[in-house]
Structures are given as structure tokens and as C-alpha cells.
């Protein structure tokens, strides 16, 4: 009875939905079976279960020198799954360990070929390159790399201080540019307002009245009222003397025509004697 139970237990195997059974008959590979109940020939066929679910694997921290000679410490996470159970069992001894080692070496290689700015700003591009390189090596093993993500990038302390200072200087530069642009726009608006007021005296009067209203609303003990010159100009023009008509310029002909009274009488006497 005991022998029968042992034989039945070796004949009947149950494979779950996310598993496949790789069967060897007398050492020869047979097509994968499952899911469900699988019947094996006792002592002739042997089966190895392979999990087809996505495996999440952490890549240990790697100290890498970037292309611009900046030492960084990076780690990543790799998502992969088995798409061909036969190859995963036959062509590699341990596909999980093999994929982990390929991920580590590929991470060091890709990071070493990238600059620090590219690593920080274009991480998606580096993730795609890592996924392609690792998948190219693991494809013969029947392993498909779904995605690779660079999880953390640790910079040296001095480099972090330099980058923080650079970011602070950049923010100050932007603030100064925005302030200068605001001053320029305000000056342009003031120029337009001054031009309008210079051509429209009524606008200047209204602005003056508005200023008086604003000053009166404040709780001041002493208020100085500025008086525009346009308001008193009519009164000043009344007190000015009348303008004297300009005299004609004196010419040589006028000097000749003018004569003294004695000379005119002497001329008349000489003419009488003659």
C-alpha cells in the first residue's frame, strides 16, 4: 500500500496557472506541460517547475565613474520574467543569478559612458539603454527583461554643495532678469502716461485731484499741497508788462536823410542869396 502511494505521488503532479513543467524523459527534454494535472512515468520522467511571473530584483549599489570623471554610487531595480521555460532550464544553470550579474555589469558600463548631467536629467534614456542591453544578453536564456529603473544616484558631498550653489546663483540671475524686465515695462508705461498728460492738460488736472484725494485719506498731521504751475500761469500772465514793439533797424540811408536844424537853415539861406 505504501509503495502504491509513493508511485502515485511520483506520477501525478499539479502545476499552477503561473507555472510550467519542464519534463525530462530519460534525460531527454520534452515539451513543457501545464497548467493543471500532469501524469509522469515513474522513474522515467522527471519534471522541473518554472515560475512565469515577473520577478523583481534589486541591483546592489555600484560605485561608478562617469564619463566626465565624477564618482557616483547608483543602484537599480530590474523586472524580468521567463518566456521560454525550456531555455531557462536547459541553457543556463540559474537564470535569476545570471540575470543579476548581467544587470550589475551593464549598469556599470552604461553609467560609465554617460555624463553626470545626462544621468540626472535624462534618466529615462539610460533606463531604456539598460533594458536593451540586459535583454539582449538574457534573451537566449528565455528571459525577457520588462523594464529597468535607476533608483538612486548618490553624489559626493562636495559635488552636492557645488550643484546647490550653482542652482542658487541661477535663481538669483533669473530674479534679477525678471526685476529688470519689470522696471523696463514700468518705465515704458510711465513714458506713455507722461506723453498723454503733456498733450492733454485736463488729464494732468485730474491726476492732481486724485493725488490730493489720496493724500487726504492718510492720517497725517501736516499736508503739503503741491500747486501745479498750470493753475497759476493765467494769473502770472496778467501781471507781466505789455510787450514793446520792436524798432526797425537803422540803415545808412536813414542816417544820411537825417540832418541837424542848423545845417538845414544854412542851406536855405545860401539858396536865397543865390
CA distance 163 to 72: 14
Whole-number pLDDT of residue 128: 92
Higher pLDDT, 159 or 32: 32
When comparing pLDDT for 234 and 17, which is higher? 17
What is the per-residue pLDDT for 79?
A: 95
| Stretch (H or E) spanning 274 | none
Buried b (16+ CB within 10 A) or exposed e, 190-227: eeeeeeeeeeeeeebeeebeeeeeeeeeeeeeeeeeee
Nearest to 117 by CA among 127, 130, 126, 107: 126
Determine the topology of domain 55-155 in CATH: Tetrahydropterin Synthase; Chain A (3.30.479)
pLDDT tier, 22 (very low <50, low <70, confident <90, very high otherwise): very high
Across 102-115, average pLDDT: 90
pLDDT at 259 over 50: no
Helix (H) or strand (E) holding 59: strand 55-65
Q: At 136, which helix (H) or strand (E)?
A: helix 123-138
State mean pLDDT over 247-251. 51
* Domain boundaries of the chain, sorted by first residue: 2-51, 55-155, 157-209
pLDDT, tens digit, 9 for 90 and up, residues 45-69: 889 999 999 999 999 888 888 888 8
Average pLDDT, the chain: 80
| pLDDT computed for residue 56 by the predictor | 92
In total, the chain counts a number of residues equal to 274
Q: What is the mean pLDDT of residues 25-40?
A: 88
Residue 2 pLDDT grade (very low, low, confident, very high; cuts 50, 70, 90) = confident
Question: What is the average per-residue pLDDT within 12-40?
Answer: 89
CA torsion 206-212-214-217 (nearest 10°) is: -140
pLDDT at site 130: 92
Residue 217 has pLDDT above 90, yes or no: no
Which pLDDT belongs to residue 260? 46
Which run of H or of E encompasses 151?
strand 143-154
Query: Any idea which of 1-15, 44-58, 189-203, 242-256 has the lowest mean pLDDT?
Result: 242-256
CB 38 within 8 A of CB 13: yes
pLDDT for the residue numbered 214? 72
Task: State the average pLDDT over residues 17-30.
Answer: 90
> What's the pLDDT tens digit per position in 194-215?
787 777 777 767 777 777 777 6
Whether 41 shows a pLDDT value over 50: the answer reads yes
Least confident of 29-43, 167-181, 215-229: 215-229
CA distance 145 to 114: 22
Q: Please give the model's pTM, rounded to 2 decimal places.
A: 0.60
pLDDT, tens only, 135-193: 999 999 999 999 999 988 888 887 778 777 888 888 888 999 999 999 999 998 888 88
Amino acid at each position: 500500500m505504501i509503495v502504491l502511494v509513493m508511485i502515485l505521488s511520483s506520477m501525478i503532479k499539479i502545476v499552477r496557472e503561473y507555472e510550467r513543467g519542464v519534463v525530462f524523459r530519460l534525460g531527454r527534454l520534452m515539451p513543457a506541460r501545464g497548467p493543471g494535472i500532469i501524469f509522469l512515468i515513474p522513474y522515467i520522467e522527471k519534471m522541473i517547475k518554472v515560475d512565469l511571473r515577473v520577478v523583481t530584483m534589486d541591483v546592489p549599489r555600484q560605485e561608478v565613474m562617469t564619463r566626465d570623471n565624477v564618482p557616483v554610487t547608483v543602484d537599480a531595480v530590474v523586472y524580468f520574467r521567463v518566456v521560454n521555460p525550456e531555455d531557462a532550464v536547459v541553457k543556463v544553470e540559474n537564470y535569476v543569478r545570471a540575470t543579476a550579474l548581467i544587470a550589475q555589469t551593464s549598469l556599470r558600463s552604461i553609467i560609465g559612458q554617460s555624463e553626470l548631467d545626462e544621468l540626472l536629467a535624462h534618466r529615462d534614456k539610460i533606463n531604456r539603454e539598460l533594458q536593451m542591453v540586459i535583454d539582449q544578453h538574457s534573451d537566449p536564456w528565455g528571459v525577457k527583461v520588462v523594464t529597468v529603473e535607476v533608483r538612486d544616484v548618490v553624489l559626493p558631498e562636495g559635488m552636492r554643495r557645488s550643484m546647490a550653489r550653482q542652482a542658487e546663483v541661477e535663481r538669483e540671475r533669473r530674479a534679477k532678469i525678471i526685476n529688470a524686465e519689470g522696471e523696463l515695462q514700468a518705465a515704458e508705461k510711465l513714458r506713455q502716461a507722461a506723453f498723454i498728460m503733456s498733450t492733454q492738460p485736463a488729464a494732468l488736472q485730474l491726476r492732481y485731484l486724485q493725488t490730493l484725494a489720496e493724500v487726504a485719506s492718510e492720517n497725517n498731521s501736516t499736508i503739503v499741497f503741491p500747486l501745479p504751475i498750470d493753475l497759476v500761469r493765467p494769473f502770472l500772465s496778467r501781471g507781466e508788462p505789455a510787450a514793446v514793439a520792436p524798432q526797425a533797424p537803422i540803415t545808412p540811408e536813414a542816417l544820411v536823410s537825417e540832418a541837424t536844424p542848423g545845417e538845414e537853415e544854412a542851406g536855405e539861406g545860401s539858396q536865397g542869396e543865390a
